[in-house]
Amino acid sequence: MRVLFLADVESQKYWDFFDKSDFKDIDLIISCGDLKPDYLTYLTTMTGLEIAYVHGNHDKRYKESPPEGCICIEDRIFTYHGIRFLGLGGSMRYKPGEHQYTEEEMRKRIKKLKHTKGFKKGFDVLVTHSPARGLNDGEDLCHIGFECFNELIEKYEPKYFVHGHVHMNYGRNVPRITQVGNTTVVNAYEKYILDIDIDENRPKRFFEKN
């Protein structure tokens, strides 16, 4: 299964110079946050593809005008063609505002999830806005990652951990791909395509029930 991940900036290639042939081999689109809702609405309308998303720290407009035809996967496991995606959006809290969390608040979100049916089965792809602490994150409070994400990776060993938030044009050497044990960590800034092996024996599409 080929998944197009998006984050942080709207790609001119997809929005200003849209060509449907660019999406002919894409099966699913996932936003890691900080994208205009109109951008996601446009892409799902023009491509006919399903789009799932988590929130970025700048996505306060989603409350009043969420992207039409798209699926929010915050705080749940979304299974698509047998691949289990866990969504945890938002950034470290650095000022009053939505989609920001302290380390303890993010831990509480994860703890609540652990009590949901099916979570013990683990997940294949961790989808977040922020990175993990000390793993290609920033030094300022806004861009510091979450330590609890490291713990999720260590315990569940997902095949992929995909995030945004740390722009690759920040003027420092921000890697696109990092390997942590059995987990490939991807910074999805602007756009990145992953080919993920599917399990035909798993359900095609559903949300885990709480």
Q: Is 109 helix (H, G, I), strand (E, B) or coil?
A: helix
Contact 51, 30 (CB under 8 A): yes
Is the pLDDT at 78 greater than 80? The verdict is yes
Q: Name the residue with higher pLDDT: 114 or 203.
A: 114
- The total number of structural domains in the chain stands at 1
Predicted local confidence at residue 210, as pLDDT: 42
Stretch 165-184: mean pLDDT: 88
Predicted local confidence at residue 35, as pLDDT: 98
pLDDT per residue as tens digits for the range 142-151? 999 999 999 9
Stretch 63-68: mean pLDDT: 95
CATH of the domain at 153: 3.60.21.10
- 67, 69, 55, 197: which is closest to 125 by C-alpha? 197
Predicted local confidence at residue 204, as pLDDT: 60
Whole-number percent of the chain with pLDDT over 70? 93
pLDDT per residue as tens digits for the range 90-137? 999 999 999 999 999 999 999 999 888 778 889 999 999 999 999 999
Stretch 159-163: mean pLDDT: 98
Counting Cα atoms < 13 Å in the Cβ hemisphere of 28 gives 22
pLDDT averaged over every residue in the chain = 93
Q: What is the domain range of residue 18? A: 2-207
Is the pLDDT at 201 greater than 70? The verdict is no
Encoded amino acid at 115, one letter: H
Q: Which two tokens stand for residue 159?
A: 């095949």
Q: Which residues contact 175 (CB under 8 A, 6 or more apart)?
A: 136, 187
Which pTM does this prediction carry? 0.93
